[in-house]
Every structure is written in structure tokens, then in C-alpha cells.
Amino acid sequence: MNKKEIEGLIHNYHWMAKEVQRLQRVLYGTDIPMRSWGVAQYGIEATLPKGSKGKSQAELRDMDMREERLFKRLRKYEERVYAIEAAASKIEGEKHRVVYDCMMEG
């Protein structure tokens, strides 16, 4: 990825995060907190039964074309939003972190 593409992702973060929330409400009926996207659990929590945060394979097969399109868009934006959030920890220098945060807020 080049510098312009990265700047574009950061610049578009705000609306992509809102679109992720909207698509989650449409597809799942509720928002899924970002901190639970793909986070591993350890200890006793890892052994407890968990409900699915997404669609089952049977539900994915039964999706209509609109839902399938929205689901694909949701996955794409979730990946981008998560990558942008994770990159924040890699930024060095207070000034750069402030600029990064301001860009993410729009």
C-alpha cells in the first residue's frame, strides 16, 4: 500500500466505522463491539459455550442477494476499520498520534 492509499483509509475511517455499525444492525439486529472481533479468550472463559457473533453456514447459504452483498461489504469494512484501529499503536511521536486521531475523527 502506498502513502496515498493509507491516507485515504485514515480519512475514510469515520464513515466506514459508522457503516460497519449500520450493516451489523441490518444483518444481526445489533452492533458487535470492535474489541470482540476475532479476539481470543484465555482461561476459563475459553472453555465456556459461546453464541455465534455472525451468521452460521446454513444462514449464509440462505441469504438473499441483498443480504449477501451487505455481508460482503460488512466484512470488507470491518477488516479496514480494524486495521486502522490496530495501526494506531504503531505510531511514534505525540504530534503524529494527535494528527492521526484528528484525521480519524474527520
Q: What would the pLDDT profile of 42-92 be if each residue is shown by its tens digit? A: 455 555 555 555 666 777 677 778 888 898 999 999 999 998 888 888 889
Total number of domains constituting the chain: 1
Note down the domain range covering 61: 3-105
pTM attached to this predicted model? 0.66
How many angstroms separate the CA atoms of 21 and 16, rounded? 9
